[in-house]
């Protein structure tokens, strides 16, 4: 009887081992059926999802991929979008623009990856906007970040910094969240040294501009904003249903308005009167705190509370003015919809 039990137990163990071995053998085959990237691989020392596996580094991203004929950067974005994988982008200065055009369900992870213009757009010939774009890690722009007619965009951290070795050979143009944009989330935004070149900065208005004539952005959520220096306005805010966390503006109005184009939703001429914070035709919005340093700033107004609606207010929980300059005042229109709960001068 004991022998029979032993034989049965041994049979069960052998069967289980066979099943386990069979399962282990099938797993790679199943993965291969889901995603076979062999035609795209240029360096198999790196795992699936690492851009270097497909020949992408800061030095080589502009080269054509032998399989697709597109740039290697475009090729890995195609792979990430079509296969539903997160693509890891290595660090370095890429000496090119990062254009995300009419894409959907794209997941990229950056590691202090540095580009010039970073643009998320809907191509005029496309029937659909860019949607569900997730840019993780830290991304650096030497020029401008622009989001237009796009939806469900999430960016962990973006730094806009001066590097006149960029393609335009000029200073940064800031961040613009433009017409038709909806559900935009940025964890951390930093803008340094916004320029005011007479010839090159015609449309450069503010370190952060959230605007768009008759189709203004909706639901912009930014956790923290640090504007280190702006030749023109600090923040120009329009639209509705925004949530902004902590804001710090070190310097604003440091440059010239020469050659500058008028601003959307504003009266002609107002663009030349530089402000740290300009809220205009903005509704149902909350700002946790904003700190404005006037010590070295040369703007005309600390803030301009322009047209609004007290029934759909912009609520600023706390506003702090450091090194209060008597020559820099707050301009409040009679029809403004801004409520400042706590105001401090330091």
Whole-number pLDDT of residue 21: 39
Give the rounded distance of the alpha carbon of 6 from its chain centre.
65
Whole-number pLDDT of residue 321: 98
Strand partners, 106: 133
CB-CB neighbours of 3 under 10 Å: 7
pLDDT at 237 over 60: yes
Lowest mean pLDDT, pick from 13-27, 32-46, 305-319: 13-27
Whole-number pLDDT of residue 213: 86
pLDDT at 251 over 80: yes
Whole-number pLDDT of residue 27: 40
Question: What are the tens digits of pLDDT across the range 226-235?
Answer: 999 999 999 9
Could you give the CA distance from residue 159 to residue 157 in angstroms, rounded to a whole number?
7
Mean pLDDT of 31-56: 87
- Least Cα distance to 184 among 207, 155, 214 occurs for 155
**Measured distance between the N- and C-terminal CA atoms of the chain, rounded to whole angstroms:** 91
CB 273 within 8 A of CB 231: no
Whole-number pLDDT of residue 165: 83
Hey, what's the torsion of the CAs at 134, 137, 142, 143, to 10 degrees? 20
Cα angle, residue 90 at apex, residues 86 and 95 outer, rounded to 5°:
115
Quick one: pLDDT band at residue 238, thresholds 50, 70, 90? very high
Mean pLDDT of 313-329: 96
Question: What are the tens digits of pLDDT across the range 47-93?
Answer: 999 999 999 999 999 999 999 999 999 999 999 999 999 999 999 99
pLDDT at 4 over 90: no
Mean pLDDT of 255-284: 97
Could you give the CA distance from residue 289 to residue 35 in angstroms, rounded to a whole number?
47
The H-or-E segment that residue 79 falls in is helix 72-83
pLDDT at 122 over 90: no
Whole-number pLDDT of residue 127: 61
Mean pLDDT of 156-180: 94
Would you say the pTM of this structure is higher than 0.85?
A: yes
- Average pLDDT value for the chain: 91
């Amino acid at each position: 009887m004991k022998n029979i039990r032993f034989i049965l137990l041994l049979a069960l163990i052998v069967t289980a081992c066979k099943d386990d071995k069979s399962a282990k053998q099938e797993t790679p085959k199943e993965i291969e059926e889901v995603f076979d990237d062999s035609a795209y691989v240029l360096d198999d020392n790196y795992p699936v999802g690492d851009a270097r596996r497909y020949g992408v580094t800061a030095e080589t991203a502009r080269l054509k991929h032998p399989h697709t004929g597109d740039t290697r950067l475009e090729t890995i974005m195609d792979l990430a979008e079509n296969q539903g994988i997160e693509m890891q982008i290595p660090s370095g200065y890429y000496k090119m623009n990062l254009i995300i055009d009419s894409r959907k369900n794209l997941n990229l992870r950056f590691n202090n990856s540095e580009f010039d213009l970073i643009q998320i757009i809907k191509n005029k010939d496309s029937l659909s906007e860019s949607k569900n774009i997730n840019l993780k890690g830290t991304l650096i722009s030497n020029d401008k970040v622009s989001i237009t007619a796009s939806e469900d965009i999430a960016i962990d951290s973006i730094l806009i910094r001066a590097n006149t070795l960029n393609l335009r050979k000029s200073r940064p143009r800031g961040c613009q969240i433009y017409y038709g944009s909806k559900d935009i989330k940025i964890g951390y935004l930093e803008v340094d040294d916004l320029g005011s070149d007479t010839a090159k900065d015609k449309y450069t208005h503010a370190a952060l501009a959230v605007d768009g004539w008759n189709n203004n952005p909706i639901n912009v959520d930014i956790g923290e904003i640090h504007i280190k220096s702006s030749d023109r306005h600090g923040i120009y805010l329009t639209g509705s249903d925004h949530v902004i966390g902590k804001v710090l503006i070190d310097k604003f109005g440091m440059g010239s308005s020469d050659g500058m184009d008028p601003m959307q939703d504003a009266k002609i001429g107002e663009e030349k009167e530089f402000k740290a914070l300009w809220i205009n035709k903005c509704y149902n919005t909350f700002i946790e705190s904003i700190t404005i340093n006037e010590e070295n700033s040369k703007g005309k107004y600390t803030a301009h509370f322009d047209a609004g609606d007290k029934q759909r207010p912009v609520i600023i929980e706390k506003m702090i003015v450091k090194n209060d300059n008597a020559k820099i005042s707050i301009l409040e229109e009679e029809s403004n919809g801004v409520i400042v709960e706590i105001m401090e001068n330091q």
